[in-house]
Amino acid sequence: MTEARLIHLRYAAVCSECGRELVPGTEAVWDRAARTATCVECTAKPFERGTAGASSLRRYERLHDAREARAKERFGRLGGLYLRVTSDPQSTLAWGQGGRGEERLGAFLETLHDDERIVVLHDRRIPGSRANIDHIAVTANGVFVIDAKNYAGKVRRIDKGGWFSSDERLYVGGRNCAKLVTGMARQVAAVRATLGEPTIAEFELRITPVVCFVAAEWSLFAKPLRFDVVWVEWPQSLGKRLAAPGPLSPEHVRTLAKRVGAALPAYATSS
């Protein structure tokens, strides 16, 4: 059982959730089993794991409603007819499609969340930008940064190189999805900055980026694809990866998850 109690620190420490430096004498919760200190402010805050797809679906609704308002203002009584015979632009529809993909993967990840071996966070905001991280899973085997994609078509690895060179790229149907792979670097950097290099080194943490296609087609005997450090897979294969055994204890999993959650807040609750 975890032994945690409120004390005045005898030595300097760092808050396990927000990363703030705590000087000696500061009142904090000391977890003897995990050997971590948590500032009083963080212990008072509820741990918000987030809602999958919330920010994308909210963006879709805003764009959809704004289009309806413009049509009614422009066409008056004929605005309803105009809206029935036309559809939202593709840029708007993409937000809805993406949000539903995040919801679908989020629902699957929730079946794995047990608050011990796997803690799942959804729709996390990257500070200083409007970008988000769809899902983060802190597991006994490390931290996984997950981008959900709701694309149709068959997932393939295609080599676009010449006779004496290799240039392997990710395709889904006829769509070149190479940017999805390279785009994971920014999300991983945000998580690394949140945890801090000393913590990563102390726990020998692996931070694994994953692009997960929730509706795409795969070959009958397909295996997950790997492009450099980025894995490309489907929900069930991702689930096996998250559930793999690892060295982190339940206390460490929860502590790391709370630290990530505090620094990368749920987008739906951010201003």
Distance from first CA to last CA of the chain, Å, rounded?
37
| pTM of the complete model | 0.82
pLDDT of 32 reads: 75
CA 244 distance to own-chain centroid: 19
Average of pLDDT values for 138-148?
97
Q: Give the residue with greater pLDDT, 127 vs 114.
A: 114
Whole-number Cα distances in Å, 60 to 64, 68, 121, 170, 221: 6, 12, 22, 27, 36
Q: What's the angle, vertex CA 172, arms to CA 101 and CA 51, rounded to 5?
A: 15
- Does residue 141 have a pLDDT over 90? yes
Q: Give the residue with greater pLDDT, 33 vs 113.
A: 113
Average of pLDDT values for 19-33?
85
Average of pLDDT values for 82-86?
85
Of 3.30.110, 1.25.40, 3.40.1350, 3.30.160, which CATH number belongs to 49-55+91-269?
3.40.1350
When mean pLDDT is compared over 81-95, 170-184, 246-260, the highest value belongs to 170-184
Average of pLDDT values for 95-117?
95
Q: Give the residue with greater pLDDT, 251 vs 179.
A: 179
pLDDT of 255 reads: 86
pLDDT of 202 reads: 86
* Cα-Cα-Cα-Cα dihedral sign, residues 221, 226, 227, 231: positive
Sequential DSSP letters for 199-250: HHHHHT--EEEEEEESS-B--TT---EEETTEEEE-HHHHHHHHTS--S--H
Q: Where are the CATH 3.40.1350 domain residues in the chain?
A: 49-55+91-269
- Does residue 271 have a pLDDT over 60? no
Helix (H) or strand (E) holding 168: strand 168-172
pLDDT one-digit tens code per residue, 168-216: 999 999 999 999 999 999 999 999 999 889 889 988 999 999 999 999 9
What 3-state DSSP class applies to 267?
A: helix
Let me know if 71 is exposed, middle or buried by CB neighbors in 10 A (0-12, 13-18, 19+). Answer: middle
pLDDT category, 2, cuts 50, 70, 90?
very low
Of 109-123, 148-162, 180-194, the range with the lowest mean pLDDT is 148-162
Whole-number Cα distances in Å, 115 to 30, 119, 121, 143, 250: 20, 5, 11, 14, 8
